[in-house]
Each structure stands twice: as structure tokens, then as C-alpha cells.
Structure 1
Amino acid sequence: MGDEPVPYFLDQGTTKTYRIPIGHLDYKFIEKCTDVKHLEKILRVLRSGEEGCYPELTLFCEKRIEHLDPRSRALRKDKPAATASDFTAEEWETINDELMSWVTEMNEDDKKPQYLRTDALHERQDNLPPIRCSSSCLPANQNKKLQNKLRNKKNVPRDYSEWDKFDVEKECSKIDEGCEENNSKARFFSRPSLPIIEKKIDTTGMTMKEKIFIATREKEKGNEAFAIGDFEEAVTYYTRSISVIPTAAAYNNKAQAEIKLQDWDSALQDCEKVLDMEPDNVKGKLEHKFALLCIILFLANKMVHIHSCC
């Protein structure tokens, strides 16, 4: 450690990088220093070689930093990417086999959307309703009237003298008439009816992977509908998912949506299916008890009503 001479000029001035005093590039200072950040800066200066090449001093600084902070980023060294020569023949063969199986699986997944696009998705796209708030929702004559109204609209008075000619009551009455006209049109105007969603999906010719993909997608659609409060649509999508692959999760979610709709009988049946598939399902047990309790209360209220009528 002491065999490596340090030139006299190291006692003068500061380094170009970080402005570290030259005297800090010394064995004694590095040995006593406990500031890891400062030592990291010293190490970067020594590695750069801007003040000379001192391999032993650089190694001593690295060991000091490792002693104070073994996880220091300054100690990390870039390693080249591994090649076939870095592995044994058996390890490389295993890696190659896994890579080829992954490529095969990805190619199968690429073909799967093509199958879905040509069959099921094409049929649904033809029946999609028009985009909300688009001009296609308005009749042609109403669109023309709106355009003419905008074209013939007078400019707002730009001069103080013009405001004297502005009849406030007349303009207010025009606005009121326009609101009444729009309200009356809104009453008679009916939006195009949404397409009916089939509750069962035909799985003829589908592979198991395709079934899993479609069942999961339909369940996720049900979750989205449930999140926005459309419980009837949620039940429909959960039913579609179950028609492809019946799972406890889909039955569970369907029962929860049916409870929101107060469809106690259906909820009770779905909860029983969940418990048949997974007897230890806590969520299914709770929903089953809740649905059963609601049915009992409903029957009790009905009996009280009949008794009071008699």
C-alpha cells in the first residue's frame, strides 16, 4: 500500500471533476474518511485517470467503500452479455429448448386473435350502436336546421351604441322558445335500440386456450359493467363466461350482481354452485347466507301482509 509513491503536485489545488482537494487522493485520508458519497467521488476521479493512474490506490478506495457500504452503486461493474461459451452444453441446450417453446407458444397466440376476428368479433361489430354524441344520432333535417341557425346567427353588439338597440326581453323569449322546442323534440326523439347480447357463446371448434381467453374476457366485461352499476349487463356477461367455462369466480361475481338486482333465487342457486365447486370459498358462503336471509325476510313480510289482509 505504501510502496506506490504519490507525487508532490497532489498536495496542491483541486481536481477538475467534483473540485476535490488533491490532498484527499491519499491513503491516510481515504482510510480515515467515513463519508461514502465523498469516497465515491474520489473513486470516480481515480478511475478516470485525470490526475494520473494509481491502480493500488483505486483498489484501496474500493475496499474502503465496500467496508462502509457494501451496496454502494460505485462498486457495481458492467458485465458483457452472456454468450453460449459462458454456459455448459447442458445449460445451453435447456435455454435453447425453453426459447423455442416460447416462440412456438407466441406463434399460436398470434393465430388466436385471427380466429376470433373472422368469426365471433365480425358478427358483433356489424350490430354495434352508433357512437355516443355523434351527429349520426340526429335526424338529417335537424342537422340542417342547426347548421342554418349557426350560419344565420347575428354577431353580438361590438359598440356601446349598438347595445341600446339590443332588446333583452325579446332575446330571452327566443331562448325560452328554443328550450321548449328542444325539450319537445327530445321527448319524441328515440335513440337507436342497442343490440341484444346473446347469453350463450357457441364454443364449437374452439381449442382450450381459446375458451380460456374468451371466458376470461367475458368475465372482465362483466366486472366493468358491475363497476359502473349496470348489474343486468354484468349478469349477462358473467352468464356468457360461464357458458364457455364454468368457474367459481364467474358464478361468485354473477351471484353478487344478482344480489344487487334483488334476484334472491338466482343468487342462491349460483352461491350453491360456487360451494359445490369450492366448499371453502368464504365469499360464496357469505353471499349464500345473505341471499338465504333475504329470501326468509321476503317470505316473512309476505306472510304478514296476507295475515293483515285476512
Structure 2
Amino acid sequence: MSTIEDLQKIQEYQEYSYRNPGKESLLEKYRIPIQHFDFDYVNRCKDANELEKIIDVLRSGQEGYYPDLLRATEGQLAKLRPNSKCLRQRCRVLNKNDLEKDELDKIANDLNKWVANVSKCNRELEERKSNKTSCNVKIRQPQPQCQPLNLVKKENARRISSTDYGAWDRYDPDTEILKQDLEEEKRRQRVRQARIAEEKTRQDAETFTGTRGPSATPTSTFVMASLEKRPPKKSVTFNRHPTEAEAWFLSERELEKGREFFKNGDYEMAWRSFSNSIASRMNVTNLNNRAVTSLKLKKYSEALEDCEQVLAIESKNLKAQLRKAQALEGLQRYEDALDAVMVVIERDPNNSIAQELAERTRKHCRNVLKNTRLTITEIE
């Protein structure tokens, strides 16, 4: 590097500093100590990132131009990180003057072929388009099937906004899918009922007129005309048993209501909700929940029945066994309660509720024995 080029670099930096007086330099930006711009430090440095920053500062010329130090830093960086971006050489973009004549001819031929192919494709497309417009054959379109007006149900579903995070937290995809399945099942049921009602009306009309088919007498024609003038009767809906999906949905909904009532201390409403859940679909969960609610309401007989039903389904259900013992204690059947709670203790020895219940029932049993008088009679 000549001295003239070094002077030009220094002059460029002075002009840069004059144009940007308050702008932070790279040395201040990278916070590199000035002592690191030394041959000994550069040769000992093992930090490739710091060497890249030093190269950026040296190439900028903001602190002066030091070609020997720059080459030494680049050599050390090449040893530590050969694929560094700082070591990439910039190449000038070639133009047509830099290419040979053979290369230029090849590129020109390729471009001419491409233009010819594009023109040919355009002509073919235009010909196909003109052939289609000349054809006047009308194509019959399929007619859309219209649903009966009485079966169409308009719903104004409110779309949840993307920023309504509270609504998205409350949104349950499984529940929505189940609702859609229920709506589809109800729609199919309405269609079946409408068809049955229509068939029944037709059969009643045929039975009344005594005719079937188009061969009708004038009297029957008059009767049919009078029937047509009458206002149509309202369709009668018959009570039906809920489907399995509907029963599951109703049972789960009532079960959740009962749990909320139970948490709030409203045991009467909780008992009603659990009973509705059992009526829709009986299972171990709602029976157990109604049993514990009955214990809170001191309905010990009903609690005992629910627990026995649970144990009939699952004989190893500890909750039902423990609540059975509590119900027997409430009915003052202490010996049976002790037998029931001992089953729980055998399976779960660390159950504190069962231990306390066993102690109470033992005390009651001892008190009963103390208060019982034994009569001894001699046998001859």
C-alpha cells in the first residue's frame, strides 16, 4: 500500500468526522481497549469475535490506517475461524465487456430460443381461447338442492375476536364439537319425523277417499280438493329417548353444576343436580357425589343405597366403602359401620378419616355392651 493511498484514507476519515461530529465511532461502539491494537496482542489473541471487531475498526479507517496490523489480524483470524465473513473477498460484478465472444453468442442464442418458445405458447393459448368462444353448446348446470323451509334453522353465531383472550380461555373445542353433533342428530330426527308425518297424512287421505293413485272418481276429487283447502295441521312431535351423545352431554352438564353447588355449600341444589345427572346417565362418579351430598344432608339411607350401587359396579371403590361406613354410623348401625371401615383400613392403612371413624364406632360398640344387661338362667 502506497503512502498516497494512506493519505487518502486519512483524508476520508477526516471528512467523515467533519460530516458526523456526534456519531459514535466503532472503537467506542465495540468498547475495545486501545492497547489491543498491537501486534503482540493480536498474535496471542484466541477470541475470534474480538479479532473480527478489530478488523472492522481497522478497515473503517476511523482510528487511522494500519495495513500491516490489518494483515496480521486477518492472518490470526484465518487460523481461528477460516470461514469468517470478514475474510471474504469482494468480487466485481461482471458485465458483457468482461465475457468472451463465444459466451456472449451462447447467451444470446438461449435468450432467442426462450423468446420463441414463449411466443409459441401464447399463440396456442389464443387459438384455444378462440375455439372455445366459437362453440355455442350450452352446458347444463346441476340444480342446487333446496331444503324445506320448515327445516332450515337460522343461527347467528357470534365470532370470537382474535384479541378476546378471555373468550378463548373459556372456549372448549370438545364441547363445541359435541354441540354440533347434537344439532346434527336433532336435524336428522326432525327430517325423519317430517317424513313420517307426511306419509301418515297421505295414507289418511287415501283411506278417507278410498282411492289410490290417479284413477279417482269425481267425488274423491272433490273431497281431495276440499282437503287441500283446509289449513295444514301443525306437525306433532313425539317424545323420544335421548341419544347416547345427548345423555352423556346432559349428565356431564348436571354433574358440573352439582360440583359447583357443592363447593358453594348449597347441598340441596347439588343433590338435585347429581340426581339429574344419574337420571340421564348413571355412573360411579355421580353416584359417589350424590352419596357424599346425602351425608351432608343427613340422608343416610339414600347415601347407603348409592354406595351399595357403586360397590356393585366397582367392589374395590374405597370412597364408596368409606361413605358406606359413614352412612351406617349415621343410622347407628355401629357394628356394620366398623366392619365396613375396617375394609378401608386394610386397603389404605394411612387413611386418617377411616382411622377416626373406626375409633368412634369402637367406642359406640363398647358403650352398647356396657349398657346391655345379661340375664343368666340356670339350666336344670
TM-score, normalization by structure 1: 0.36
CA radius of gyration, larger in = 2
Question: Which structure's relative contact order is higher, taking Cα pairs within 8 Å and 6+ residues apart?
Answer: 1
